[in-house]
Amino acid sequence: MKLLITGGAGFIGSAVIRHIINNTADNVVNLDKLTYAGNLESLAEVSDSERYAFEQVDICNRTAVDRVLAEHGPDAIMHLAAESHVDRSIDGPAAFIETNIVGTYTLLEAARQYWQSLDGQRRTNFRFHHISTDEVYGDLESSVDLFTETTPYAPSSPYSASKASSDHLARAWQRTYGLPVLVTNCSNNYGPYHFPEKLIPLVILNALEDKPLPVYGKGDQIRDWLYVEDHARALYKVVTEGKPGETYNIGGHNEKQNIEVVQAICDILQDLRPRQTSYRDLITHVKDRPGHDLRYAIDAGKIQRELDWSPEETFETGIRKTVVWYLNHQEWCNRLQDGSYQRERLGVGT
């Protein structure tokens, strides 16, 4: 197979590409605009592969997307390109509307035209895999409910509303035009190569610099944590074995309060890189985010039953692997934090 992956220089996209190049015989075309969160250094271990190609393209640019599809002739599209940080969506929602809604529409239309041009078995086998988030469901009121594939949508932030919109578009293109669409909704990802603005890498890096560890409100928000390499395996399963028209929820079976996550990181760091006083002393409670959902939790039973996927990492094993990775990749982190990874690719002096 040849897979076109949008947003392949991002956190989850790069994990998917590394998984495919390292564990399959498939070819990958990475289509990425390279915004602030896109970092080709996350693909250094596979970028020299003859089965990997990169195209710096904005998914909102229909002409450029058409060219990539015509030149590379993919057998499937995995659409991960998105603006994804809730805080940024609150401060500047326009970019989320443009990328997540208009960009998805543009890509769907390009994919539809391309798919209709295919012949025979290639057309039958083509897939458009739209990757989304559990945040489209809003939050859960009880402590026992779980998000299922039929949970009504109730997004709370500009980010989740824009992703909900893109989900609806993808399903509409399936229903109206017959485009063979698959949709997945995942829980919170964590692991190697995560951009430092997100909770887990932010806490790790702040702790190493003796900076405050910010926790919204009481830190009692509950999330289901999914190790990114488990997610990458699931996404490949879906695009290769999933049934068009179906939705699959992907979760880690690891519900934790945010404060528990931060405390776990502190304790692992204390074990691996001891501090004179506890890293927990750095925890600082800050004003809560507007419209902050309290609890997300996914029922991933469908993908386990139908596609034989389940996560390999527990939260305890995954979070330790993550902390160790950041300790061993300080240079990668430093280049993101000081912006040099962007300046060099733009040809700007440091």
Report, as residue numbers or ranges, the catalytic residues.
Answer: 134-135, 159
Fill in the DSSP letter of residue 43: G
Locate 157 and state its tokens. 């932030």
Q: In whole angstroms, what is the distance from residue 79 CA to residue 334 CA?
A: 29
β-strands 2-6, 76-79 pairing: parallel
Is 54:30 a contact under the CB 8 Å cutoff?
yes
Q: How far is CA 89 from CA 114, 144, 156, 163, 331, in A?
A: 32, 29, 11, 11, 29
Locate 264 and state its tokens. 């776990």
Distance from CA of residue 126 to its chain's centroid?
22
Is 250:300 a contact under the CB 8 Å cutoff?
yes
Q: How many Å from the N-terminal Cα to the C-terminal Cα in the chain? A: 40
From the CA atom positions of the chain, what is the Rg in Å? 20
Is 190:273 a contact under the CB 8 Å cutoff?
no
Q: Buried (b) or exposed (e) across 321-340, using 16+ Cβ within 10 A?
A: ebbebbeeeeebbebbeeee
